[in-house]
Amino acid sequence: MTTPRILVTCPPMLGLIDEFEADFAASGLACVAAKTSQVLSEAELIDILPDYDGWIIGDDPASRTVVEAGARGKLKAAVKWGVGVDNVDFKAFQAANIPVENTPGVFGAEVADVALTYTLGLARSTYEIDRAIRQRHEWPKPSGISMAGRTVAIVGFGDIGQQTAKRILACGSDVIVYDPFFKEVPGLPVTPATWPEQIGKADFLIFTCPLTPQTNGMFNVDLLPLLRPGVRVVNVARGPVIVENALVEGLRNGQVHSAALDVFEVEPLPGNSVLRSFDQCIFGSHNGSNSADAVRRVSRIAITKIAGFLSV
């Protein structure tokens, strides 16, 4: 019997791919690492995917045309590495009778660590100070703000949102939570609210929600006048949750003090993006979940799932 071949296109997993060869082999699978540092295009996937029995998906476009191309070839199963699934057409997989799952609830702590790091960085201008010292040989001493007694609004109260709330509460802040499916969590004394009620109280606004039709463009020009002047914005969710032109307008007029973004509408962030002109902002590379410990844990979950689908 031919060993099933699994295409891996997830960059964090690819970064440690040699470590997983034994896991694939133990599951009776052969791993093939895609040559990518971000995502493959639809055209690239349509060309190569039909040659593989399984696919461990990153943020690539797992669209209907891609899935149908795979189905015309050998593709029998797929696993979306990680939590976010906005790039996966589940109906297309279902129509092709190809099982697909993600790996839910696996990155809450890791992404929350980054959310807290960004929040504290905005509160105390630590990244801005670092750049001034390194790049301009300055010795700045800006006055930041304390977290104790501040109000932090968190959009999304799933695993990541809960873990973020836990960390923010430890700083002595009050937390307002926006989530239509909110459920109380013992030990997390947060205040639920309906978006965008009470948003004017927030000194910080942190997005930890999935990208859905309801969350797409939540931060927009209509929201700006409702915000507390000088609010600090953090996004560790998905880029399109924030309309970047609206954020730029808020930064220009001072309604938004600063922003820390791990995700963007277009990734990588274009070289001509106006956002780059705001020194008080912090930018990441959609890397919030990428700790070596988490990558190892989730990659092995993905391997186990794909092996189960293929009954290997």
Q: How far is CA 30 from CA 20, 21, 74, 100, 191, in A?
A: 10, 8, 14, 19, 49
Find the catalytic residue in 238, 244, 257, 265. 238
Q: Measured between alpha carbons, how far is 284 from 209 in angstroms, rounded to an integer?
A: 17
Find the catalytic residue in 21, 72, 267, 276. 267
Q: What single-letter amino acid sits at 31?
A: C
User: How do beta strands 174-178 and 54-57 pair?
Assistant: unpaired
Beta-bridge mates of residue 154: 177, 206
Q: Measured between alpha carbons, how far is 263 from 38 in angstroms, rounded to an integer?
A: 13
Closest to 262 in 3D by CA, of 285, 290, 291: 285
Secondary structure (3-state) at 253: helix
Provide DSSP, 266-300.
SSSPPTT-GGGG-TT-EE--S-TT--HHHHHHHHH
Q: How far is CA 148 from CA 173, 186, 194, in A?
A: 5, 21, 24
Does the active-site annotation cover 267?
yes
The first and second tokens of residue 191, run together, are: 């205040």
Does the active-site annotation cover 238?
yes
Instruction: Tally DSSP H helices, then E strands, for the chain.
Output: 10, 12
Residues designated catalytic: 238, 267, 286
